[in-house]
Chains A and B, each alone.
Chain A
Amino acid sequence: MTSLHQPQPGGATALDRVRGRAPTIQANVRRLAAFANVHSCPTAAVAFAARVDTNKVLADTSMEMPYGQSPFAIGRGVAFEALLRRHGHAELRRVLTDGLGTDFSYAAIENLREGFQPNRAGLTMRARVTSSRMAEIAEGPQEPVVLDGAVLRADIGGLPGFFEADEMAIGVGGQIIVGENKSWPVVDGRPTDEDALGAALDQAATYVLMGRRTLEQQGVDSACMSDSVVLVTPRNTGLAPALHRQDVASRIRRIERLLGAVPDVQETAASTPPSVTFDTIADTTLPETVRLDAFGQVTDELGRVYEPASCLTSCGFAWACRQRLFADGDPALVGGSIARALPGIASLSRVAELGQGAPASPAEAPAAVPLARANRLYDEIAAVPRMTQRRTA
């Protein structure tokens, strides 16, 4: 069981210094999912511990990554949620009744998004209400209950955070089922975006895990949290909602492992060199070169682990890291699998030299032989036509 506690003042001070005036972000389940993709990167770990918003630190530089969203996509999501809540949650009741086989017509639906302040105090209150309602539901009330906008408080790497679920649909017999609303459509029983489905199920699985921990803290048997979750999505071309139930037991186990791998904030703070700060990098009044140089110094000092697919989709530092790797000629530029196949070889320039038959050091020897052979074969038998004309600017 994870205990809830505030970071020690010393750690907080160190992380305040690391953060500086860089934009911050509150922990949420998407931030957690994004960090899970890059958790092996020391720079990302320090930024996560300091709650630095990596998507905004490099704002107004050429390395700022586009994370904006189409207003139509946001409008669709907002409209879908509004549809579910309209007329006393009539659509949500209908879809839960149809999908879960229990009559939700008279279910008590408690909207925790209303009546609470939109700040940390409000989230704390919502988390308390969620926690007590979950304990009540575990006792098995007569009527089904739905918590709309349930908030779970959880400790990630020693850092407490609030995580807001869309719904927690409570079925009969005291079983708690996590629900997520997504506005992408399902057609013929299949999602129109498999990646989005995977991300949604990961989110829901995270809520299940946090819900279990919340129950355990109250001494309630966490087995009442179901391994299966529900997704409510539009069906076909309109916004008419449909419910899909999916078992996420394996995802829960994976997320539990990932959360266990999140570095402890105190340890991260203690091990971060005093010179490391995101303050200069985020300072938009400074010239871009100064900010990017500062970024280079920070990542050089902390270390970086670059995996193109996971970094480019999950971390706002990805373009800047990629640029540094290119400047250094780091083999990781084209992916970790290539870099791992080149033990003892520090740069792409050296790989090219070894390919051309340069003498290899003992450390380089295992990788040098296949490289030299690949280069010889390519030059000998491929007789590959080269680009002879370049496009004019």
Chain B
Amino acid sequence: MSTAMEALFAARIYAEGQALRRTTLRHVHLADPPLAIAVWRLGGERFRAAAIAWGPLDGPFQLAVPGEPRNRDLYFAALQPFAADLCARVRRAAVSREVRQRGSVIEAVPTDALQIVVPNRATVSALGLLGRYLAYLSDRGGVAPDPVLVEAGRHLRFYARNARVPGQALLLPLDRLVADHWATLLSPFEQANLAALDAQIEPEPGRHPFDASAAAEVSARIGPEPTEDIDRVTGALLAEFNAARSSSTDPAVVEPLAQPLRSHYRDLVEPVWQLMQRVVARERQLTAAPSVSRRFSADGEAFGRHVDWVIPGGYYRTTDTPRQAAITLRRLEDALAHYEADRAVEDPACMIPYLLDGDAIRGTVASVAETKVVVKVRAVSRAVIAVDSPDPVTLPGGKLLWWTATAADQPWQVESVQPNGTGSRVVLMLTAKPTAERLPAVGNVITLSTLCTGRSGFWLLPPVEPPWTHRPDVALLEGEPIDAGDSEQPVAAVDGATVPDPGRYT
């Protein structure tokens, strides 16, 4: 991102008292409605969801509160409805399919994959850890775990891992959605707070976005990691709950006793749910960019493969092999490059940083001509255009640029750049046969950039046997249950004021 653009955004927001759109289009798919999930954990307990709220975002949420999430029986009993509902939704979404052929490969791709939205990236990590925990549960006392928990765990793992793919929309952290589409006075670090982002975009009347977000930072609680004040209340309620149930895990005993905790977490989830509803409704107002459906279709392919593998009982590795890691990295880099190119090519607002950084030119077509050039041994027809840019252009001869209207097609090659008034005249030659679709008309204002949205051929996969430099010293860990410790006695909460150096436990 261009620093000039970022500085201008900050200055205008400061002066005008209003956040600014970074985009004119929405670059991420939004289902109507998506399934939303909000999670609250116990402090420091990475695998213990003290509360999970879920449901279609256009309606009320369901809430699972185990009471004591560090008790396996209570925890799994509370998670069961959530897991069952998630599995049912995934299976339903995978039923309707369309046949797609790519080369010799024919796939039945789900037409509408299940989209999940969460408040922030921290919740994505939390769901990933919960998925890892549930996906490989061991038998306990000869009793097999509820299969629906295991299946839900595998779905959550898949969603959390897929969330790394740039531009994907299967699991959408809303803080990233908002930060990608809005310029605010918040630094990237502060943008992790969805409430602060929302307050900057829609401050209360008469309030500057800065003041609104500062107030939201103080008051809003988003989760999944609780603040001290939340867990002080939780701690007191949990102590009462544990004392009252006297080690019982009988639902008839526990259900009524968990009511105060349920009420405590319902009060925490309500504002988060409303916030997510508001954010999604606002972003849905923007027209989706043309490439959004293509990317969501690719998400659908990944979703379909996942369902086809997991429902019959397939497992995933928990640690990538070196080869898998190399392939994954390559795919993620490829997805990022394509996502950024799609955004800029389709959305003029996203092209501005490239124009400012000299990676794109914009100007009026002054002339279009055809010429003959010798390519290898034959003289072939080539189009030559002159583009008058109002701004000075610095580009080396031979540089390849793609016209945004044909960014997936062949590039233009810079022939010369000459001063032209206060700007420049850039002469470019098309590197392919000139056709009507490939040529702009004289007088058109066009943009050419270094961004290509076309597929970049095949890339070689790493060798099946990695070289010795990429072989780990120790054998890779197999996917194994990690739940042995969940039978341990829960540790007592400790007031920070009673320990000599509470900072040690940060």
Contact = CB atoms under 8 A, between A and B. Distances in A.
B491 A76 contact: yes
A331 B44 contact: no
Given A69-B228, A188-B319, A341-B3, A371 B43 contact: no
A71 B225 CA distance: 12
Contact of A382 (B24, B132, B286, B491): B24
Interface in A75-95: 75-79
A289 interface: no
B18 A382 contact: no
Contacts of A237: 47, 133, 482-486
A334 B491 contact: no
Interface in A1-39: 28, 30
Interface stretch (A42-50, A153-161, A223-231, A385-393): A385-393
Contacts of A75: 44, 491-494
A118 B500 contact: yes
Interface string A320-336: 00110010010101110
Interface residues of A, number: 74
A294 B54 CA distance: 48
B266 interface: no
B202 A387 contact: yes
Contacts of A28: 501, 503
A348 B494 contact: no
A355 interface: yes
Contacts of B46: 184-185, 192-193
Contacts of B501: 28, 164
A331 B7 contact: yes
Contacts of B352: 374, 377-378, 381-382
B105 interface: no
Contacts, number: 247
B129 A70 contact: no
Contact of B496 (A68, A76, A309, A329): A68
Contacts of B227: 66, 68, 70
Interface in A45-81: 62, 66, 68-79
Contact of A71 (B15, B186, B218, B494): B494
A234 B218 CA distance: 32
B466 interface: no
Interface in B141-160: none
A308 B43 contact: no
Interface in A291-347: 308-309, 312-313, 319, 322-323, 326, 329, 331, 333-335, 337-338, 341-342
A72 B7 contact: no
Given A351-B11, A390-B205, A78 B483 contact: no
Contacts of B11: 331, 348-349, 351-352, 355, 371
B24 A390 contact: no
A160 B132 CA distance: 46
A70 B202 contact: no
Given A62-B218, A382-B348, A238 B484 contact: yes
A393 B187 contact: no
B187 A309 contact: yes
A383 B352 CA distance: 12
Question: How large, as a class, is the contact surface on chain B?
Answer: 35 or more
B14 A329 contact: yes
Interface stretch (B229-237, B291-299, B307-315, B334-342): B229-237
B170 to A, nearest CB: 22
Most buried by B among A164, A235, A326: A326
B485 A240 contact: yes
A238 B8 contact: no
A390 B202 contact: yes
Contact of B12 (A236, A319, A355): A355
B43 A71 contact: yes
B267 to A, nearest CB: 18
A386 B234 CA distance: 42
B482 A236 contact: yes
B231 A384 contact: no
Contacts of B12: 352, 355, 375
Contacts of A385: 21, 24, 286
A187 B132 contact: yes
Contacts of A74: 43-44, 493-496, 499, 502, 505
Contacts of A322: 214
Contacts of B218: 62
A341 B4 contact: yes
B107 interface: no
A239 interface: yes
A76 B45 contact: yes
A164 B501 CA distance: 11
A312 B190 CA distance: 9
The 4 closest A-B pairs by CB, nearest first: A238-B485, A70-B43, A77-B505, A68-B228
Given A237-B47, A374-B7, 14 more contacts: A68-B227, A69-B505, A69-B506, A70-B44, A71-B43, A74-B494, A189-B477, A238-B486, A338-B3, A338-B6, A338-B10, A341-B4, A383-B24, A386-B21
9 contacts: A28-B503, A66-B227, A68-B229, A70-B226, A73-B43, A184-B44, A188-B477, A352-B15, A383-B348
Interface of A: 28, 30, 62, 66, 68-79, 118, 164, 183-185, 187-189, 192-193, 234-240, 308-309, 312-313, 319, 322-323, 326, 329, 331, 333-335, 337-338, 341-342, 348-349, 351-352, 355, 367, 370-371, 373-375, 377-378, 381-387, 390-393
